[in-house]
Structure 1
Amino acid sequence: MKGKSIRKSAWSTYWKLHDQRKRLVERLKGYLDGLPPKTRRRTVLAMLAAFAALALYTFGKAVYDIGRNDGSRMVTDHAGQVELSLKPEVSDNFTPYYNNMYGTDEE
């Protein structure tokens, strides 16, 4: 019975938060719908300008930092021997895809 009460309280909390979120969204939409078109346009353009500035900064910083590793070079060694998976023993628990993955023994 304890599991049901926990589940019930969790769902109750979820729906309270869901309803609160819906009320907040409705209030925000009402406020934004009441703004004059000129103010809306300015708000959207300001948000677009902020996004563009941050995007350009991020891109510029990434291009500037290409190849800069504080003077250290990346070490490139041989990868070594790669271990391949072996075909498993025959069992009834394999899926048809897994059985056909390695091909047949007749090849």
Structure 2
Amino acid sequence: MLVISRYDGEGFWIGEDLFVVVIMDGWGARLAVSAVNREVHQPDEQTAVIDGHIEIRILQCRAGRVRIGIDAPESMRVVREELLNGVDEADNQPFGGAT
């Protein structure tokens, strides 16, 4: 299981066509899943199962941050949204410093 942390509104990609965003609601959180041509089953707001073999779960909510567990085949790439956009959060500049 891969575990990542996200703040409200931050998301991540699984493969090329599955995008997940965390939505904070008071002290809780829920998952919003955007999946093209995939079967999505959400037994509750904190768990999503995609195509019967990818599972995403909210593990913990604390201090405005959410820990998410992702079970997916090793062949599927999981990428935080900001890495695809090429922005380093530390200085809000494109990777490699100011251009």
Output the TM-score relative to the length of structure 1. Answer: 0.21
Structure 2 length normalisation: TM-score? 0.22
Query: Which one scores higher on RCO, CA 8 angstroms, separation ≥ 6?
Result: 2
Structure number with bigger Rg: 1
Q: Which has the higher helix share?
A: 1
